[in-house]
Structure 1
Amino acid sequence: MAAFPAVKTFEEYDFTFATGAPQKQLQSLRSLSFIERNENIVLLGPSGVGKTHLAIAMGYEAVRAGIKVRFTTAADLLLQLSTAQRQGRYKTTLQRGVMAPACSSLMK
């Protein structure tokens, strides 16, 4: 299942941490309508407010809906792209792994 580090759900999320975004707005992400609209989601905030939890929860909902999901951290993605660039595979790696038509949860 998408190699999530743990299963996180919207039901388990503590919305008191998300002071910058209304709970209704965060709950609307659960519908995954942003995927149908080909929109990106960017989660910003200090450490410990639940960005990773929300990203995994969105990915988990997508998996449950039959959508392919790729989970990676920003650090791992940069390492993969840097390695691919040195090996002359940057464009292929970017197209296959980053721009693939699937829900990608990108973290940290």
Structure 2
Amino acid sequence: MKTIEDFNLDHLPSLRRDVLAHLATGTFVAKAENVILLGPPGLGKTHLAIGLGVKAAHAGYSVLFDTANNWITRLTEAHQAGRLEAELKKIRRYKLIIIDEVGYIPFDHDACGTTVE
């Protein structure tokens, strides 16, 4: 399990400690705000995402985590089976949804609803 406390800030000196401390409070979850972690591979984005999810879970929020590829597969299969609305209803119960590895997969027309060139 990855935690915010275990994250080595020396590996990412540009990360503002005050921003990380604010995110760790979980107030973004209560306000239904989005947090996007951007950067090249190997910086610790997944570690931070998991750590924020753990903090949110400890604060009593329901958390759901998966990779972008698995999210697309899950929703595509639900759509093809005619149960997309039921699947979305299940997902909406969660207060924090974490989508990891967004930059690692190409999105096709059906997945994102638009043509990506």
Length-normalised TM-score, structure 2: 0.77
3-state DSSP class of the match of 2:97?
Answer: strand
Query: Are 2:63 and 2:97, in contact at CA under 8 Å, matched by a contact in 1?
Result: yes
Aligned mates of 2:17, 2:52 — CA distance in 1: 15
Aligned mates of 1:68, 1:85 — CA distance in 2: 24
Match of 2:97 in 1: 104
Q: Which ranges in structure 2 are unaligned for 5 or more consecutive residues?
A: 102-117
Q: Which ranges in structure 1 are unaligned for 5 or more consecutive residues?
A: 1-6
Shift of 1:54: 0.6
Larger radius of gyration: 2
Deviation sequence 1:28-56 (CA, Å, 0-9, x none): 11000001111011111111101100111
Aligned mates of 2:89, 2:14 — CA distance in 1: 33
| 1:59 lines up with 2:53 in the alignment | yes
- Which protein is richer in helix relative to its size? 2
Query: Are 1:30 and 1:61, in contact at CA under 8 Å, matched by a contact in 2?
Result: yes
Aligned mates of 2:73, 2:64 — CA distance in 1: 16
Shift of 1:23: 2.2
1:1-108 to 2 correspondences below 5 Å = 7-97=1-91, 99-108=92-101
Q: RCO greater where, 1 or 2, for CA within 8 Å and sep 6 or more?
A: 1
3-state DSSP class of the match of 2:99?
Answer: strand
Q: Percent identity?
A: 33
Corresponding pairs, count: 101
Aligned CA RMSD, in angstroms, stands at 1.5
- The one-letter code matched in structure 1 to 2:17 is Q
Runs of 4+ in structure 1 over 2 Å off: 16-21
Length-normalised TM-score, structure 1: 0.83
Query: Are 1:70 and 1:103, in contact at CA under 8 Å, matched by a contact in 2?
Result: yes
Shift of 1:66: 1.6
